[in-house]
Amino acid sequence: MDTRQRLLDATRELLWQRGYAATSPNAIMKAARAGQGSLYHHFAGKEDLAAEALRGSAEQLREEAAAILDGEGSPAERIERYLTRERDSLRGCRIGRMTADADVLTSDRLRQPVSETLAWLVDRLAGLIADAQAAGELRADLDPRATASCVASTVQGGYVLARAAGSTEPFDQAITGAVQLLRGAMVG
Amino acid sequence: MDTRQRLLDATRELLWQRGYAATSPNAIMKAARAGQGSLYHHFAGKEDLAAEALRGSAEQLREEAAAILDGEGSPAERIERYLTRERDSLRGCRIGRMTADADVLTSDRLRQPVSETLAWLVDRLAGLIADAQAAGELRADLDPRATASCVASTVQGGYVLARAAGSTEPFDQAITGAVQLLRGAMVG
DNA sequence: GTCTATAGCAGGATAGAC
DNA sequence: GTCTATCCTGCTATAGAC
């Protein structure tokens, strides 16, 4: 793997672990086993490197989610599978995490992959919920977009509870709660 | 107001806005209009000051939540009122926010108010849900703790979506979604 | 492409005067 | 209690050699 790619991979990992502000070029260089010269040869600076790394993380998140959301099964089954999919909940969401970083929110280049990815996710979930309603699986009185936002928020907020507790349990509970509520809204 | 209190207030505000790592003693001093001598006279250092400030924020959050959760109305009404209470969703949660700060998670003194407060919140919500079930308001097949975790996660995750979008709308949608799902689980 | 040297600046804290 | 001076470290980046 070439140096440029190692720098990107290391950056993605550190952004996930520590966020943008707390990730120093120095730490990236060490993790990537690359020198200062390499970093500033391949990238204009920290923000440039982080922006490209973040685009990669966003794309990966979309691919992993799409594999479930566009996968096998009925719409309602896919929503439930999205919720219950295995997650390393103590690590949190590599994209949602960036939301706590003021520097990310004030930089268009850094913010864009974050906002676009989460908007895409809610859109896709809302479409699936509408499909489930059209298929007669889910009660028609739910607002698809509101339900989708609640589903996505449960995941994002579950990470918060888990990390606060230092335990995966609150995350699992939150998912269970969402699944139970959704099942209660199933037709039949 | 004395200098010590001004330092605490400024710290609480900055911790909310920027988190722990990104909040410098210098910024606190400026916001509190206090000198370096004052800060290090009243507090052992940044962590000490932040720990006390965080305890204050945690207490305030508990008080505000308890005012609703222990307030007027039936259990189910109070849960719904907790969800729909007005919030500055773009600011996020002053406690949940700390969860993204690695330094907070690795310091017992900083982590404790965060973990305890969110644990208290979920506990209290779970009790209220059990009460609603006992009162025949809510279907008995919901697990109280799971439902409570989902409710708390919806709020915490709603902040994430709102901040990513730079708009309060995703938060409001998530809350609406949770309310609709809960209403669907009402008896009768 | 990668290296080392160097720079300017801010973070977090201590010391000692007042 | 508060002030100023000072310290060391690490961040982010540039310069120029190889």
Instruction: Write the DSSP assignment of B116-161 as a string of letters.
Output: HHHHHHHHHHHHHHHHHHHTTSB-TTS-HHHHHHHHHHHHHHHHHH
Q: Chain-wide mean pLDDT for chain A?
A: 98
Q: How much is the pLDDT for A103?
A: 98
Beta bridge partners of B138: B186
Q: Chain-wide mean pLDDT for chain B?
A: 98
CB A162 within 8 A of CB A171: yes
CA distance B131 to chain A (A): 17
Q: CA separation (Å) from B47 to A124, B92, B120? A: 42, 22, 24
Q: How much is the pLDDT for B60?
A: 98
Q: How much is the pLDDT for B188?
A: 77
Alpha-carbon radius of gyration of chain A: 19
Contact B101 A102 (CB under 8 A): no
Domain boundary assignment for chain A: 3-184
Q: Distance between alpha carbon B144 and the CA centroid of its chain, in Å?
A: 20
Q: Alpha-carbon distance A179 to B168, whole Å?
A: 25
Q: Is B156 on the interface with A (CB under 8 A)?
A: yes
**B57-184: CATH topology:** Tetracycline Repressor; domain 2 (1.10.357)
Q: Distance between alpha carbon A132 and the CA centroid of its chain, in Å?
A: 23
**Minimum-distance nucleotide, CA of A39 to C1':** C2
CB B142 within 8 A of CB B82: no
pLDDT for residue A188 is more than 90: no
Mean pLDDT for back-to-back runs of 10 residues, chain B (188 residues) = 97 98 98 98 98 98 98 98 98 98 98 98 98 98 98 99 98 99 94
Contact A181 B176 (CB under 8 A): no
Write the pLDDT tens digit of every residue in B140-152: 999 999 999 999 9
Contact A178 B150 (CB under 8 A): yes
At A56, the pLDDT band (50, 70, 90 cuts) reads very high
Q: How much is the pLDDT for A26?
A: 98
CA distance A127 to chain B (A): 15
CB B177 within 8 A of CB A151: yes
In this prediction, residues A109-120 reach a mean pLDDT of: 98
In this prediction, residues A44-50 reach a mean pLDDT of: 98
Dihedral angle computed from the Cα positions of residues A162, A166, A168 and A174, in that order, rounded to the nearest 10 degrees: -30
Q: Determine the distance between A36 (CA) and C4 (C1') in angstroms.
A: 10
Taking residue A124's Cβ as centre, other Cβ atoms within 10 Å add up to 19
At A1, the pLDDT band (50, 70, 90 cuts) reads confident
Question: From the list A96, A146, A152, which residue is nearest B176 (CB)?
Answer: A146
Q: How much is the pLDDT for A114?
A: 98
| A3-184: CATH class | mainly alpha
> Residue A44 is encoded by which pair of tokens?
């204009």
> What residue type is assigned to position B14 of the chain?
L
Write the pLDDT tens digit of every residue in A158-174: 999 999 999 999 999 99
Q: Alpha-carbon distance B32 to A38, whole Å?
A: 42
